[in-house]
Homo-oligomer: A and B are copies of this chain.
């Protein structure tokens, strides 16, 4: 036996099977999926029961995850709420920017009102939640900046339309229209089965166009 032929310092060449950690992209994808699952579960529960009567446990159960995981993605229940609300305005914001920067005809005005109400009806959970928070000062303070950013384009376009129309007080008339639309949505959400939503929106449009 000649041990001298063996070189113990020579690096051993292995083939090592290594479970690589997930790539950043994979993690990003997981996170997005999870966040959306949490959003979906929260939105439904908040809209159904209200914020205070919905517990983190309920959300976790509905989303099919462990309670603690929610805190990997959101700092607190309140943080989840505000991000959820803001997230829900995405479509509205986009619509305003892409289509209604300028309203120069009665026809376009009608379309704006119509599209707005349609968006609400397509995202009922979100808008119901939003309206249920309108009088919660502490929540509104947290998202008022975002709300301003969201609704200002709408208000601006409407106001300009009323100026063109020759309104005596275009700004206030825009606020009134806005409030009336809110009132209709709230009325609808308060009693969806019996509220004559479509007819009422039609009359509203006629009164302001």
Contact = CB atoms under 8 A, between A and B. Distances in A.
Interface stretch (A93-101, A108-116, A173-181): A173-181
A158 B148 CA distance: 35
B169 A203 contact: yes
Nearest to A173: B203
B190 A172 contact: no
A169 B178 CA distance: 22
Nearest to A176: B200
Interface string A181-194: 11110110110000
A199 B169 contact: yes
A75 interface: no
Contacts of A190: 134-135, 140
Given A17-B17, A172-B203, 16 more contacts: A12-B23, A14-B17, A52-B52, A134-B190, A172-B196, A172-B199, A175-B187, A175-B195, A176-B203, A178-B187, A179-B183, A179-B200, A180-B183, A182-B183, A182-B186, A183-B184
Interface of A: 9, 11-23, 50, 52, 66, 128, 131-132, 134-136, 140, 169, 171-173, 175-176, 178-184, 186-187, 189-190, 195-196, 199-200, 203-204, 207-208
